[in-house]
Amino acid sequence: MTTLTDNTFPAFVLESTKPVLVDFWATWCGPCIALTPIVEDLDKEWDGKVTVVKVDVDDCPITARKYGIMSIPTLMLFNNGRSVERIVGLVGKGEILKRVKNALMD
């Protein structure tokens, strides 16, 4: 799983030809740490269908501010360079799968 910076975010996410799930998190955030194994599982399961990346909000304040990240963890799904879904807080794998699938079907 790739960790992005403010500089690499546009190329990896906005210019991607595949959907991208972005995990906005921080090392000090307990719920973020709890979500990590779920995000890692999704990355393996999707194997190239959806790209999964991480953005540490402390290391990437410009990107976090641009996308209005007020609470973490926040997962954002981008498709064709635009945000199509936002999931805030610690949620289960089933809920993430359902919301990603629904967002990509629209």
Mean pLDDT in runs of 10 for the chain (106 residues)?
Answer: 95 95 97 96 92 97 97 97 96 96 86
Domains in the chain with CATH codes: 2-105 (3.40.30.10)
- The whole-angstrom distance between residue 19's C-alpha and the CA centroid of its chain comes to 10
74-79 and 20-25 as β-strands: parallel, antiparallel, unpaired? Answer: antiparallel
Average pLDDT of the chain to the nearest whole number:
95
CA nearest neighbour of 90 among 13, 4, 23: 23
Question: Which residues are part of the catalytic machinery?
Answer: 29, 32
pLDDT of residue 106: 64
- Quote the pTM value: 0.95
- Greatest alpha-carbon pair distance for the chain in Å reads 35
Report yes or no: 25 and 53 within 8 Å, Cβ to Cβ: no
| pLDDT in the model for residue 43 | 94
